[in-house]
Amino acid sequence: MRLSRYFMPILKENPKEAEIVSHRLMLRAGMIRQQSQGIYSWLPLGKRVLDKVNAIIRDEQNRAGAIELSMPTLQSAELWQESGRYDAYGKEMLRIKDRQDRPMLYGPTNEEMVTDIFRSSVKSYKDLPLNLYHIQLKFRDEIRPRFGTMRSREFMMKDAYSFDLTREAAEHSYNKMFAAYLRTFDRLGLRAIPMRADTGPIGGKLSHEFIILADTGESEVFCHKDFVGFDTPDERTDFDSVEGLQAIFDKWTSLYAATSEMHDEAAFNAVPEGDRLSARGIEVGHIFYFGTNYSEPMGAKVQGPDGKEHFVHMGSYGIGPTRLVPAIIEASHDDNGIIWPASVAPFDIVVINMKAGDQACDDTCELIYAALTKAGKDVLYDDTDDRAGTKFATADLIGVPVQIIAGPRAVANGEVEVKDRKTGARETMTIEAAINRFVA
Ligand code: 5CA
């Protein structure tokens, strides 16, 4: 992508409305724009990051055996009347009428709709287990939308829904998502700690929130500090192994960890004082097992091996991609801007032409840009005629992991500079060496 032809509206000044660093940096880097309170456009740079986050989420959902579909954002109120949540959900739900005066709503979550899809076609235990997910916009008319896309009214959610014949089978499905979440957050460069959580309006018996520790987090959390060093399940994890996944769950729930709603002071005080971590955190995922809470009122049942009908045991599993992007920034930035983990960086490499219009600089940059693009890298080429200082500041602000800098003096020697955004380390090398470093 040539910056001169791209759309990346950088802000020079710090926006006044931004209270936390991620919101400030997302606005300054031209990643998002607020359209009305708590409702955002994702501009091209932000969209690239969001897409990469979603690709990792999708990859790990698929690995764990979940199957993707797509459900609409607008739902009929009837389904919610069946489950009893239409009246219970309160003002957070945006209620709308269509031209026939039929009550509709903009979905805040999809338990009812997915249960309806399930009951319309699954009739036998032989079709279980089943886990269906989508990555879709939601709307919740939050009392206090704030911090940009961290807590917005319209937001994106990956929501998965599992269906099983028995409680034991449903617990295995829960454990699959539990392990998939640990892997997902790890690949996003985050350390997320599962914590016992309240089930709120979703309801149910068993629930964990996945929390990232951050001073700007909205949740107050209490946990054992050893969680910070725990190993994440690797790619050899067998998601069909009941014992294997139970062992992962047991390990990751063996020490104290709870959000303030579920906090047990006495249990926390039993943790040796030096191991206690009381901090603030960002909830990036939340999983629930709620048994037959929806299948009973909505009549979702299957025939079991005993020939009888059984209400299915369900769970739901949410991740917030539009919250994850600012959460990653909260965890990874410096005074100059964002520092993206390579897995979600909007571009892999930025090529900076320090003197656009200078034949040797232009030729060198074109050569590098073409070679790296051909090798499948996402490359941003700063071919604008801005001052070198402005270009450096922009490259640091948008946080691309590698900068290849071509200035007249180095280029005259057949060389460029390669800068690592995270460490700031700079290395001068030949043009060929710079290309080879990033071409596998
Ligand atoms: N049905 C369940 C799981 S699919 C559910 O709705 N869970 S939730 O309410 O906990 O939301 C799941 C995830 O969505 C949260 O962990 C969070 O990451 C994200 N999320 C929830 N509300 C917002 C919001 N207002 N802004 C941004 N992300 C949000």
Does ligand 1 lie within 6 Å of residue 82's CB atom?
no
131 CB within 6 A, ligand 1: no
Confidence band of 385 (pLDDT split at 50, 70, 90): very high
Confidence of residue 256 (pLDDT cuts 50, 70, 90): very high
In a domain, residue 122? The reply is yes
Q: 39: domain CATH number?
A: 3.30.930.10
Total domain count, the chain: 2
Cα 9 to ligand 1 centroid, rounded to whole Å: 29
Same domain? For 398 and 291 the reply is no
Residue type at 278 in one-letter notation? S
pLDDT at 358: 97
- pLDDT, position 324: 98
Q: Which residues contact 177 (CB under 8 A, 6 or more apart)?
A: 64, 66, 131, 160, 162, 287, 315, 317
Quickly state the pLDDT bin for 204 (edges 50, 70, 90).
Answer: confident
Q: Mark whether 260 and 363 lie in a shared domain.
A: no
262 shares a domain with 113: yes
Q: At what angle do helices 44-63 and 321-331 cross, to 10 degrees?
A: 110
Annotate 358-372 with DSSP letters as a single string: -HHHHHHHHHHHHHH
Q: Is the dihedral of CA 225, 229, 235, 241 positive or negative?
A: negative
pLDDT at 440 over 90: no
C-alpha span between 146 and 160 (Å, rounded): 26
Q: Within this chain, do residues 95 and 74 fall inside the same structural domain, yes or no?
A: yes
Is residue 71, in this structure, part of any structural domain at all? yes
Q: Is 37 exposed, middle or buried (0-12, 13-18, 19+ CB in 10 A)?
A: exposed
Query: Which of 106, 261, 286 should be mutated for ligand 1, with most atoms under 8 A from CB?
Result: 286
Distance CA 433, CA 418 (A): 10
**Residues 164 and 50 sit within 8 Å (Cβ to Cβ):** no
Give dist(CA 166, CA 125) in Å, integer: 10
Would you say 322 and 155 are in contact if contact means Cβ atoms under 8 Å apart?
yes
Specify the pLDDT at position 151: 97
Region 211-234: what's the mean pLDDT? 94
- Residue 207 and residue 288 share a domain: yes
Do residues 277 and 361 both lie within one domain?
no
The residue whose CA has the least distance to atom 16 of ligand 1 is 285
pLDDT digits (tens, 9 = 90+) for 40-90: 999 999 999 999 999 999 999 999 999 999 999 999 999 999 999 999 999
**Which atom of ligand 1 has the smallest separation from the CA of 285?**
16
The answer, yes or no, to whether residue 199 has pLDDT greater than 90, is: no
**Treating both helix axes as pointing N-terminal to C-terminal, what angle do 242-252 and 167-187 enclose, rounded to 10 degrees?**
60
Q: Is 85 in the pocket of ligand 1 (CB under 6 A)?
A: no
d(CA 13, CA 16): 9
Rounded to the nearest angstrom, the distance between the alpha carbon of 108 and the centre of ligand 1 is 9
For the residues 132-152, what does the mean pLDDT come to? 97
Helix axes 431-438, 359-374, angle to 10 degrees: 20
> Are both 321 and 420 inside the same structural domain?
no
pLDDT in tens, 359-382: 999 999 999 999 999 999 999 999
- Domain containing residue 238: 9-338
Over range 337-350, report the average pLDDT.
98
Q: Which residue has the tokens 């906090």?
A: 263
The span from the CA of 116 to the CA of 57, in Å, is 25
> Does the CB atom of residue 320 touch ligand 1 within 6 A?
yes
DSSP for 299-340?
T-EEE-TTSSEEEPEEEEEEE-HHHHHHHHHHHSEETTEE--
The residues, ordered by sequence, that sit 6+ positions from 437 with a Cβ below 8 Å of its Cβ are 418, 429
pLDDT exceeding 70 applies to what percent of the chain? 100
Q: Which of 317, 338, 359 is the last residue of a domain?
A: 338
In a domain, 344, yes or no: no
Q: Residue 203 pLDDT more than 90?
A: no
- For residues 148-166, give the mean pLDDT: 98
Residue 394 inside a domain? The answer is yes
101-115 burial, b at 16+ Cβ within 10 Å, e below that, comes to eeeebbbbbbbbbbb
**290 and 354 share a domain?**
no
Tally the C-alpha atoms within 13 A of residue 392's C-alpha that lie toward its C-beta.
14
Which of 338, 364, 383 is a domain's end point? 338
Burial tier of 424 (Cβ tally within 10 Å: 0-12, 13-18, 19+): exposed
Does residue 38 come out as left (phi exceeding 0), alpha (psi in the -120 to 50 range) or beta?
left
What's the pLDDT score for residue 205? Answer: 76
Same domain, 331 and 353: no
User: Is 49 within the bounds of a domain?
Assistant: yes
pLDDT higher than threshold 90 for residue 201: no
Question: Domain ends where: 279, 310, 338?
Answer: 338
Distances (CA, A) of 362 to 166, 236, 359, 367, 413: 65, 46, 5, 9, 15
Atom of ligand 1 nearest to the CA of 210: 16
Residue 111's alpha-carbon distances to 159, 205, 290, 315, 319, in angstroms, are: 9, 16, 11, 9, 15
Ligand 1 nearest atom to the CA of residue 160, by list position:
4
Q: Is the CB of 155 under 6 A from ligand 1?
A: yes
Distance from the alpha carbon of residue 140 to the mean position of ligand 1, in angstroms? 9
The pLDDT of residue 420 is: 98
What CATH number does the domain containing 392 carry?
3.40.50.800
Whether 200 shows a pLDDT value over 90: the answer reads no
Kindly state the helix (H) or strand (E) to which residue 155 belongs, with its residue range: strand 154-164
My answer on whether 261 and 391 are in the same domain is: no
Establish if 1 belongs to a structural domain.
Answer: no
Render pLDDT for 393-434 as a digit per residue (tens, 0 to 9): 999 999 999 999 999 999 999 999 999 999 999 999 999 999
> Atom of ligand 1 at shortest distance to CA of 110?
1
- Give the mutation target among 42, 151, 157, 325 for probing the ligand 1 site: most ligand atoms within 8 A of CB: 157
Q: Which amino acid is at 45?
A: L
Ligand 1 centre distance from Cα of residue 425 (Å): 39
Q: Residue 32: CB within 6 Å of ligand 1?
A: no
Distance CA 317, CA 122 (A): 20
Q: Is residue 126 part of a domain?
A: yes
pLDDT one-digit tens code per residue, 183-198: 999 999 999 999 988 8
**Do residues 371 and 321 share a domain?**
no
Predicted pLDDT at 135: 98
Whole-angstrom Cα distance, residue 350 to residue 404? 6
Are 81 and 147 in a shared domain? yes
Ligand 1 atom having least distance to the Cα of 157 = 14
Question: In percent, how much of the chain has pLDDT > 90?
Answer: 95
